[in-house]
Amino acid sequence: MNIEIKNVYALIDGEIKRHSIYIEKDTITGVDNIPEGFKAEKTIDGTDRLVIPGLINAHTHSYMAPLRNIADDMPFMDWLLKGVNPVEDRMTGEDAYWGAMLAMAEMIRCGTTTFNDMQMHIHNTTRAVKESGMRAVISRGLVGDKYDKEDRRIKEAFEEMPDGEGTNGRLTFRLAPHAPYSAGIDYIRGIVDIAKEKGLGIHIHLAESQTEVDNLKKEYGLTAIEYADKAGCFDVPCIAAHCVKVTESDIALMAKKNVSVVTNPASNMKLGNGFAPVPEMIEAGINVCLGTDGAASNNTLNMFHEMSLLTLIHKGTHDTPVCIGAKEALDIATKNGAKALGLKNVGEIKEGYKADLAILDINTPSMVPRNNMLSSLTYSANGSEVDTTIVDGEILMEGRELKTIDLEKVLHEANAMMERLA
């Protein structure tokens, strides 16, 4: 559909000014300049509206959305082993489908257009993503010690991997050795070999907790980052979640190997793991992006909440208010995520870029006054301002009404699932 967004405030190159935006099919084909022969099939009036590039949630586990609240205020190992894992193990593929739908309903309502998803049930999630219209990068979380290509999970992740057919490139895949504490070096090497052969990137959790780092040091004499490097993770495009407990030389190594780091401030704080040295990583030249992690450890999938935390915690931990400002946070939550995920022409509002957009209603207290809307976006917006969400030129929400997801059905199924599983 050809869409015209008329005379709207738009976030372009770090500045918010009035523009008109023209979309043909999946692509932004004009900013202020009407493309030749353009005929709008739909016009969105820009009065009281601000359009931003859709937010990119660079690390989550969508199927876990119904596990929100399941094990809060507990020590990490109790959270994982007594709270999350038993319920997760009882989830069927169908449950994962409804979980992903719940996650996507929440994300679309908060202006997120793309997510990087580590999964247990990739076929069911793929089905959900195809139906929802969101852009996603999906990987099967892989856990094991010795690499065996006959392993059921590896077969699922690789040989029986679903495809992105019919999604116009919205859906791509990665391979995900889960973490150094759950995947042996030999096992990860096997997965990296497949990634090389297939031209796929790696998605992994690294250096999330002090226990993880201490155990690796004891057993292998390596930091988590050195462990991943030794296993070959950094020889292919690698996106590493967390990276909280890293040394200066870890940071230098990741910068040298072009590793993208996803910081997950809410999850790290909630599980008592501390703060990733984000300003230091940026200083070293690392591409840092932002994620919510799963709802079991956040408990939201709200990237506005995450942006606010990102800016505030580093000011707080570095004793300076001039650290990760509003503009930088927005870049981290948009174009840095696209770069990390290898998504070309995504994450900015520009001619030739994908039409992945969030349109906010700015006639609301959190966005008033309009003297510095960059600040409003990171420091006072909460996601409820998002009125319209567009992915690949398709309107997924308008007037806060979801167009591709039956919200009532999803809420009913998710509630029923947790009454059964918890």
Q: Which residues bind Ni ion (CB under 5 A)?
A: 293
Smallest distance, Ni ion to C-beta of residue 139, A: 11
C-alpha to C-alpha distance for 115 and 138, rounded to whole angstroms: 8
Smallest distance, Ni ion to C-beta of residue 216, A: 18
Collapsing DSSP to helix, strand or coil, 53 comes out as: strand
24 or 293: CB nearest Ni ion? 293
By beta carbon distance, the residue nearest Ni ion is 293
Q: What is the dihedral of CA 159, 191, 274, 114, to 10 degrees?
A: -40
Identify the bridge partners of residue 24 per DSSP, sorted by sequence position: 27
Smallest distance, Ni ion to C-beta of residue 207, A: 13
Smallest distance, Ni ion to C-beta of residue 204, A: 10
Pairing of strands 202-206, 238-242: parallel
Output helix, strand, coil percentages for the chain, rounded to the nearest 5.
40, 25, 35
Smallest distance, Ni ion to C-beta of residue 34, A: 44
- C-beta atoms surrounding 330 within 10 Å: 22
Smallest distance, Ni ion to C-beta of residue 293, A: 5
Alpha helices in 295-347 (DSSP H): 303-317, 326-333, 335-340
Alpha helices in 199-302 (DSSP H): 210-220, 224-230, 248-256, 265-270, 278-283
4 or 293: CB nearest Ni ion? 293
Query: If we measure between CA atoms, which residue out of 339, 333, 262, 392 comes closest to residue 11?
Result: 333
309 or 377: CB nearest Ni ion? 309
293 or 331: CB nearest Ni ion? 293
293 or 387: CB nearest Ni ion? 293
DSSP string covering 373-401: HHHIIIII--STTEEEEEETTEEEEETTE
212 or 293: CB nearest Ni ion? 293
Smallest distance, Ni ion to C-beta of residue 371, A: 38
DSSP one-letter code for 370: -
Collapsing DSSP to helix, strand or coil, 92 comes out as: coil
26 or 293: CB nearest Ni ion? 293
